[in-house]
Every structure is written in C-alpha cells, then in structure tokens.
C-alpha cells in the first residue's frame, strides 16, 4: 500500500470528493421542468395527436380514400369507409382512428399521397372515457383547428410529408408539389358554412377529391 492509498483510506478522500460534488450540485440551477406550469420545447415533426389537414380551398379534409394508411398501419387502428352518393361518386363516409391502439409510428403521415394526415404536436389528451380518444373525421378536423390555433406563423409544414434526404422522384405528383399549408383563415371558408355531404341527403353533390394522384391506387379491402 503506497502512502497515497493510506492517506486516501484514512481521510475518506473519495467520499469527501463525492460530497463536494453533491454540494456543488445543490448550488447549481435545477434542471427539472415543473410540467403543467412550464413546458419543454417541442421539436418539429413531433408525433402526437392525430389530425386531418383542413384544406384552405374547400374547408374540408383532403382524403382521397386510397386506403394506403389503412393498409400500412402496423397496429391496424385506422378504419375507413368509402360511401357512394346518388351519382355513384365516392366520398369519405367514415374515417376512424382508435388513438388508444395507435403506436405513433407516423407511417400513415408518410404514405399519404395528398398529405391529408398529420400527427400534431399536442400530446396531453388523456381522458376518462374511451370515446374522447376515438377520433372520427369530424374530431380529426377539430384537432387540426385546435392545433393550428396554438401555432405561430402563417403556414404549417410537417417534415414527414416529404422527408429530407429521400429521393422525391418516386413520390406521387401531389406529394412532390405539396406546399406548406396555410393555417390562417383569411380566405378559407369556415367549416360550418360548408355542409358536409351525407348519403341520406340525395339532393347535394359529393365533395370532389382535392387532388388526384398520378397512378390511381388500386382499391383494396374496405375495413369497417
């Protein structure tokens, strides 16, 4: 045993060093975020609550019922029903996301050819009932309104719509030409004034798809 080791052993050097460190830490600034009062910074692309992008022109969602998100979802929490109106034109009759089953992988956002879906930056949406976390198409649009109301700036862009560094040549045309979505209702029609078309009312025309993909995706099984 060297002299140094003996001194260390007798005078508890390593314990005193540890004590000095903890004492120093006691005087430093705390790193804890007091959550409900303070909130931490959220980075773009955060995968949170689901929403439908409200199209500025039509005031409705942009879904073209290609079934890609339904087929890709690893937890199979998306269900979509395509309806036909009296003119035999397809329209989105039902679109449901069971958010309790969702694993927030963000595949649906990435495969959507018209960038209609988004996982927003809202994350605190727990509830006492399951119904409140079962998102149908109206709730998804409501989620969008709630989300954009909190944003600053005039446009919104989700990084998973057209990820950086991925060759865009293989993407559908609508995805390649997707511009940041305007979120301030300057010229947009409020949703209440545009009546949502229902199959029970044959007098009204169905909504046109907002954008058309290049190659029409083949129709696959419909999940209800």
Partner 1 sequence: MLKKKELSINMGPQHPATHGVLRLVLELDGETVVKCTPHVGYLHRGTEKLGENRTYPMALPLTDRLDYVSSMSNNIGYCVAVERLLGIEAPARAKYIRTIMAELTRIANHIVWIATHALDIGAMTVFLYSMRDREWILDLYEMVCGARLTVTYPRIGGVRCDIDQEFMDSCYKFIEDFPKRIEEYETLIDQNRIWLQRTVGVGIISAADAINWGLTGPTLRGSGVAYDVRKAAPYDAYDQIDFEVPVGKNCDVYDRYRCRMDEFRQSISIIKQCLDKLPDGLVLASEAPPYDMPIGKPRVMPGHPMGEILPGELVEEKVPFDELYSATEVPKGELGFYFVNDGTARPYRMRIRAPSFVHASVLPKLCEGSLVADVIANIGTIDIVLGECDR
Rule CB under 8 A: say whether 190 interacts with partner 1: no
Interacting stretch for partner 1, rule CB under 8 A, among 53-61, 93-101, 104-112, 144-152?
104-112
Rule CB under 8 A: say whether 104 interacts with partner 1: yes
Minimum distance between the CB of residue 62 and partner 1, rounded to whole angstroms?
19
Q: Which residues pair with residue 135 across a beta bridge?
A: 97
Rule CB under 8 A: say whether 110 interacts with partner 1: yes
**Which pairs count as long-range contacts for 144-152, CB under 8 Å and 24+ apart, including other chains?**
144/51, 144/52, 144/53, 144/54, 144/118, 144/120, 145/54, 145/191, 146/122, 147/49, 147/51, 147/120, 147/121, 147/122, 148/183, 151/183
Q: Where are the alpha helices (DSSP H) in 12-136?
A: 13-27, 68-72, 107-111
Interacting stretch for partner 1, rule CB under 8 A, among 13-21, 56-64, 135-143, 196-204?
13-21
Task: Give CA separation, 218 vs 65, 67, 181, 210, in Å.
Answer: 11, 9, 27, 18
Rule CB under 8 A: say whether 122 interacts with partner 1: no
123: which residues sit within 8 A by CB, 6+ positions away?
42, 46, 48, 49
Q: Which is nearer to partner 1, 104 or 125 (CB)?
A: 104
Minimum distance between the CB of residue 105 and partner 1, rounded to whole angstroms?
4
Q: Which is nearer to partner 1, 41 or 179 (CB)?
A: 41
Q: Within 35-94, which residues bind partner 1 (CB under 8 A)?
A: 42-47, 68, 71-72, 74
How many residues sit in the footprint of partner 1 (CB under 8 A)?
Answer: 35
Residue among 56, 111, 213, 223 that touches partner 1 (CB under 8 A)? 111
Taking residues 160 to 189 in sequence order and writing x for each that binds partner 1 by CB under 8 A, - otherwise, the string is: x--xxxxx--x-------------------
Rule CB under 8 A: say whether 21 interacts with partner 1: yes
Whether 46 contacts 121, CB under 8 Å? yes
- Rounded to an integer, what distance in angstroms lies between the CA atom of residue 158 and that of residue 117? 10
Six-digit token pair at 224?
């209800």
Minimum distance between the CB of residue 217 and partner 1, rounded to whole angstroms?
9
DSSP 8-class letter at 212: -
Nearest Cα to Cα of residue 109 among 42, 175, 181? 175
Give the binding site for partner 1 (CB under 8 A). Answer: 8, 14-15, 17-18, 21-22, 25, 31, 42-47, 68, 71-72, 74, 103-107, 110-111, 119, 159-160, 163-167, 170
């Amino acid at each position: 045993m060297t002299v140094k080791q003996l001194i260390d052993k007798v005078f508890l050097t390593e314990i005193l060093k540890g004590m000095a460190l903890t004492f120093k830490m006691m005087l430093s600034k705390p790193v804890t975020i007091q959550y409900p009062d303070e909130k931490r910074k959220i980075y773009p692309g955060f995968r949170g609550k689901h929403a439908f992008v409200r199209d500025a022109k039509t005031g409705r969602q942009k879904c073209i019922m290609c079934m890609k998100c339904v087929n890709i979802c690893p937890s199979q929490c998306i269900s979509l029903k395509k309806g036909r109106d009296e003119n035999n034109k397809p329209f989105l009759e039902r679109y449901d996301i069971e958010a309790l089953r969702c694993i927030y992988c963000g595949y649906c956002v990435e495969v959507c050819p018209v960038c209609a879906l988004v996982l927003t930056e809202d994350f605190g949406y727990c509830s006492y009932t399951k119904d409140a976390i079962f998102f149908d198409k109206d709730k998804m649009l409501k989620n969008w309104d709630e989300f954009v109301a909190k944003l600053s700036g005039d446009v919104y862009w989700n990084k998973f719509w057209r990820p950086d560094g991925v060759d865009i040549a293989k993407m559908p045309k609508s995805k390649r030409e997707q511009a940041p979505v305007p979120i301030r209702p300057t010229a947009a029609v409020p949703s209440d004034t545009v009546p949502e078309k229902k199959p029970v009312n044959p007098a009204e025309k169905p909504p046109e798809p907002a954008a058309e993909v290049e190659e029409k995706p083949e129709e696959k099984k419909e999940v209800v």
